[in-house]
Structure 1
């Protein structure tokens, strides 16, 4: 089939499946409540809680239904608009300093009997920058293969008819980044990513055709700087 025909069919499908409107009921309100704490179970004050609805996953307008912040004890109670949509989302965040949390469900298929969404206790992890410099000091002809394995603390929990779906949720997932350093590009300088404070990063490397070596790095300070030479 010609590529242009493929593209035309794809555009038609997008047009067909993205034309739904996000529904908001004028006469229904729901309560979204819970508490926000950090990794030490200490309350997070002024965390942002935003409630959204989206008709589908193909480009319908996402509508902000309600918003608020947590109090001095980390608690929040938000009265929100409501509607039967494919996506009902509650986003919890506290700036770049912390990880994020999302509650997701389908309100076309589920409406809580008491019109209350209880998020219970949401734990956000304090985040920090991990920056690394890998410098070649051994001269030309040496090649280093390296990778970092670390934790992505951001979390999305997906609920189906009020029950948590482990298969659809993704929380505390493992991320891997790395590269190869050789004569064309011998150094990796000022490269970074974001990790939870007090978490562990695994650094693995192999020089030329040697054995792979791994070491564990504990992120025990903000703006952690890692130096390595080969």
Structure 2
């Protein structure tokens, strides 16, 4: 099995294609089906991390019974809240929707690059300060030690990615500076979903470009190309159903 998505619902959710999502759900797609490959893991993770229509897509999936605390078995994020907090466009509204729906702000991810939503937000490139503030206000534990991922703590995530504003915010809020946790050995599945853009480096923290999270570096271009192909295939499926009904 190969691919970035793992399931049709993950592919549609990643594209924010609400029409295809509704068609798939209408014909009986399992909304909580676990992907066995790819970097998303679950449909709710795919929707929360999406560039397109992430708010509407998350709302549709939650209304249809998506498990807000579902633990992905593969992928970059592990949980929906981690996915939203790490979103490449700073999906702060999606974070708020998930929290309002009862998402556990301190839920530990079992796979992925981040481990906790706060680590994900602290490492994120865009709207990181706003997202960190939202999570802290919701009760995120800034000293929580992530069980997986590259960072261990939110402060380490901010420092390693050169997010100086987040680092200052966390220190002012009482975060304790500590040395980065020892890196956990990735499982074979996780290793397959990573490329050289996620390789840890000992370069100075000032070189933020080196420490940019995986989804905003080399992998994103591969994803965009594959996403375009997936969108064409999904469009074909939609047109097929539409033609059959006419």
TM-score (norm 1): 0.23
> More relative contact order in 1 or in 2 (CA 8 Å, sep 6+)?
1
Which has a greater percent of strand? Answer: 1
Instruction: Name which one, 1 or 2, has greater alpha-carbon Rg.
Output: 1
TM-score (norm 2): 0.22
